[in-house]
Each structure stands twice: as structure tokens, then as C-alpha cells.
Amino acid sequence: MTAVLAKAADNLSETAIDEEIVVMSLASGNFYSLTGTGRAIWLLIDGNRDLEAIVAALAADYGVAAAEIAGEVEAFVSDLTAAGLIRHG
């Protein structure tokens, strides 16, 4: 099992607006608009799941093989990590 993923709550502010989640990095002031699959991934980052569990949950929700989406989910999580919005722990 890889490290669980958790939101860096002390480094962000988030607001849900209809089917969108807007996240602001408190460190950079950058805003991120999460919709669709990005929103689904964000909601699965709860401090209890690792990347593999998130991919499995998305694959089940969307009816696709985990291998088909793993690379894209990993890239998105990497972007969130680089932005300081999530931590691996």
C-alpha cells in the first residue's frame, strides 16, 4: 500500500458551487476549478485512501478498468501535490 493522500487543509480554502469545487492555495493565491473527474478525485482524497484505492473507486464509479485511468489520476494527483494542495502521509 502506498501512502494515504490528504488535503493540505492548512494551505487551502475550498468552496463547493453546484457541481464545481473551487480551491484556493493560501501560499500562492492561485485558484483551481475542479469539475467532472477532477472533482470526483478531490472528493476521494480524504486522508484514508491511497492512490490505488482512489483509482479503484473511480474505475468502479465510471465502469472502466483501473489500468485505463491510473496514469491520468496519478498525473492529476501529482499536479495537486506540486501545487501544495495535498500531502502524502
- pLDDT band, residue 15 (cuts 50/70/90): very high
* Sheet strands (E) in the chain: 5-7, 12-17, 20-25, 31-34, 86-88
Give the integer Cα–Cα distance in Å for 13 and 19.
17
CATH number at residue 47: 3.90.930
In a domain, 52, yes or no: yes
Write out the residue range of the structural domain in which residue 73 sits: 5-84
In a domain, 36, yes or no: yes
Predicted TM-score (pTM) of the model is 0.94
Residue 62 parent element (H or E): helix 51-62
Mean of per-residue pLDDT scores for the chain: 96
In a domain, 50, yes or no: yes
Domain count, the chain: 1
pLDDT mean over 8-32: 97
In a domain, 89, yes or no: no
